[in-house]
Structure 1
Amino acid sequence: LESISEDKAVVERKQNLLNFVPSLRSGEWSDIGGRDYMEDTHICIGDLAKKFGINSYSDEVISFYGPGFLHWSLLSLLVANAGDCRAVLSRGGTAIEMSKDHRPCCTKERTRIESLGGYVADGYLNGQLGVTRALGDWHLEGMKGMGEKLGPLSAEPELKLVTLTKEDEFLIIGSDGIWDMFFSQNCIDFARRRLQEHNDVKLCCKQIVEEAIKRGATDNLTVVMVSFHMEPPAHVVVERGRVRRSISTEGLQNLRGLLDC
């Protein structure tokens, strides 16, 4: 009987999690950083379905938050990424990376590039570009294929789909300048603390950008946050092991790219 009760409790817990209906709210913030011009910008469309004349859904059932990420609710989160922006989901305070950075140091990407006649030189695609997938940059010579032949620079996104539960608190989408200054878990921790203080999603995005600048960011900085609750995140303690490192941020990103691919 005890075993049956435990199984029933587990089933009920999972059912309660799956019965969760998100309450969406979003915010964003950008800064030119140390650049002379702004290129890492964003798009937020909370009623994408209606933009295409589809009125059979309620408000915010299908939403788009960019660059390069699609959020489709009510119960599903779909992330489509092409480039070095990153989407990170906070699940009960734990960072869940919903995308991979498409960089030339990634073994899988390098193999694809070389099979299409491209090459990686000094960590750059064809010696020119720091990403291997992008929606733009077609003006660069040798990147785009002709006719049916594909070029080494791809606009095809990688997709990741998850079912949202009440443990899923918010999604952070950041340009590469953010992740040069934050580890994914570090950014989630920072955002949770700020939301617990004021519960203002847009202000939280602004504070993430400002913190990146304080840490020495020199790139464009863009953050988009989509929260799945109206309440601030609960106070939880996430157990993590101690890690000592003596490696630069860029070197660590390159190492992660090799290990993740």
Structure 2
Amino acid sequence: MAAGTGFSRSFVLVEDGFSNDGEERSQNSGQLDVGKPPRNLAVVRHSISTATLLTPTDPDLGVVGVKSASDGKSEYTPMIRSGSCAEKGPKEYMEDEHICIDSLLEHFDRTEGFPSLGAFYGVFDGHGGTDAACYVRKNILKFIVEDPQFPGCLKKAIRNAYLKADQAFAENSTVDVSSGTTALTTLVFGRMLVVANAGDCRAVLGKRGRALELSNDHKPNSIPERHRIEQLGGVIYDGYLNGQLSVSRALGDWHMKGPKGTACSLSGEPELQEIFLMEDDEFLIMGCDGLWDVMSSQCAVTIARKELMIHNDPERCSRELVREALKRGTCDNLTVIVVCFSPDPPPWIEIQSPMGHRRSISSEGLHFLKGILDGNS
């Protein structure tokens, strides 16, 4: 431990088990050696972090201590910062797309209908080419804000936008309608956060070291999706919907869908979850299945929290999550977005020692230790 850190005896320090080799690779889209996909190359867009790098108390510790929990002040206002990273990984083509908009006011250059705090993020994992992922990335936000339910009922507006984007893609003569994409979006509207998901990308909230999943992975073998598929006459072969697709919800893939208005086992309808941001909500991780195939949600939150405590930069944090997934042998494209809700790094988590040799540990501390064990497994 470096001198002058000033930890009291009530802190229990735990080795984190994650390596920082210091090497950083550029993730700019112009430097990706992705080859040529079946159709247009996916345009990988990155949000530049506006974070000021803060010097941690001791960057060499690699530990997380513990501090007090949120005092629950009602006047809490989130401050949005984001960073993203995308790599094609071991696959031949890059078919992921993503979008990061930290300010809806600046993006639309208007104030009507938007709160002072508004942001939008999306991860789109394409398959069968990049046409569907690219189309949805370019149009989904427009469909949301143009919906009659916006902004009065955000969940209805987002649901309608997904279905409209799916149908509009099918009617577009300039694209390959047999390509498809999963779609995971997050709309921050004031202190309201709305996550919509169709597919197997995942959004995970970091809440004082605890991972809180805000979306469900739509895999054909999951019990709710299996029931829905079978009720609609679909079948599952070896984990694949109708023997063709490893996800049960996606936009596009119109060779597997029926005419407009007919029920289909492959659905473009998203599941939605809405939460009210609190002071304990530190950051959000959005990632394609290339991340979650090799990493648990709690492990990702533990890694991200540790990184943010060191450098407080969501861009570097997203790169570290991608790097860790590559080390663990992911077989897919990788796209990760990290959205922070505070200008400050996550606080230390305190493990109290109330009396004698007895020790108690907070729920946050337990989740942190679980993440470490997951990370070393």
Question: TM-score, with normalisation over the residues of structure 1?
Answer: 0.81
CA distance, structure 2, for counterparts of residue 82 and residue 49 of structure 1: 27
CA distance, structure 2, for counterparts of residue 44 and residue 13 of structure 1: 30
Match status 1:222 vs 2:335: yes
Give the CA RMSD over aligned residues.
Answer: 2.3
Match status 1:43 vs 2:170: no
Shift of 1:114: 1.7
Quote the residue 1:65 is aligned against.
Answer: 121
Q: Is the Cα contact below 8 Å between 1:24 and 1:228 reproduced in 2?
A: yes
CA distance, structure 1, for counterparts of residue 211 and residue 301 of structure 2: 6
Q: Is the Cα contact below 8 Å between 2:80 and 2:102 reproduced in 1?
A: no
1:4-23 correspondence to structure 2 within 5 Å: 13-14=71-72, 16=73, 18-23=74-79
Q: Is the Cα contact below 8 Å between 1:175 and 1:222 reproduced in 2?
A: yes
Shift of 1:117: 2.1
Residue 208 of structure 1 aligns to a residue in which SS?
helix
Q: Is the Cα contact below 8 Å between 2:115 and 2:189 reproduced in 1?
A: no
Larger Rg: 2
Quote the residue 2:87 is aligned against.
Answer: 31
CA distance, structure 2, for counterparts of residue 108 and residue 222 of structure 1: 26
Shift of 1:50: 5.8
CA distance, structure 2, for counterparts of residue 53 and residue 229 of structure 1: 24
Quote the residue 2:48 is aligned against.
Answer: none
The count of residues paired between Structure 1 and Structure 2 equals 228
Quote the residue 1:114 is aligned against.
Answer: 230
Q: Is the Cα contact below 8 Å between 1:102 and 1:131 reproduced in 2?
A: yes
Could you tell which deviates more after superposition, 165-174 or 44-53? 44-53
Write the letter of the residue equivalent to 2:245.
L
Q: Is the Cα contact below 8 Å between 1:19 and 1:165 reproduced in 2?
A: no
Unaligned runs of 5+ in 2: 1-69, 124-183, 350-363
Quote the residue 2:346 is aligned against.
Answer: 233
Shift of 1:242: 7.0
* CA deviations over 1:44-82 (Å, ceiling 9, x no partner): 2233456556423455x3322112212223211110011
Q: Is the Cα contact below 8 Å between 2:120 and 2:185 reproduced in 1?
A: yes
* CA deviations over 1:87-133 (Å, ceiling 9, x no partner): 00011111000000000011111121122221111000000101011
Q: Is the Cα contact below 8 Å between 2:287 and 2:337 reproduced in 1?
A: yes
Quote the residue 1:151 is aligned against.
Answer: 264
Question: TM-score, with normalisation over the residues of structure 2?
Answer: 0.57
Residue 72 of structure 1 aligns to a residue in which SS?
strand
CA distance, structure 2, for counterparts of residue 242 and residue 52 of structure 1: 42
Match status 1:185 vs 2:298: yes
4+ residue runs of structure 1 moved beyond 4 angstroms?
49-54, 240-243
Residue 247 of structure 2 aligns to a residue in which SS?
coil
Shift in CA distance, 36/188, structure 1 to aligned 2, threshold 3 Å: same
Shift in CA distance, 119/187, structure 1 to aligned 2, threshold 3 Å: same
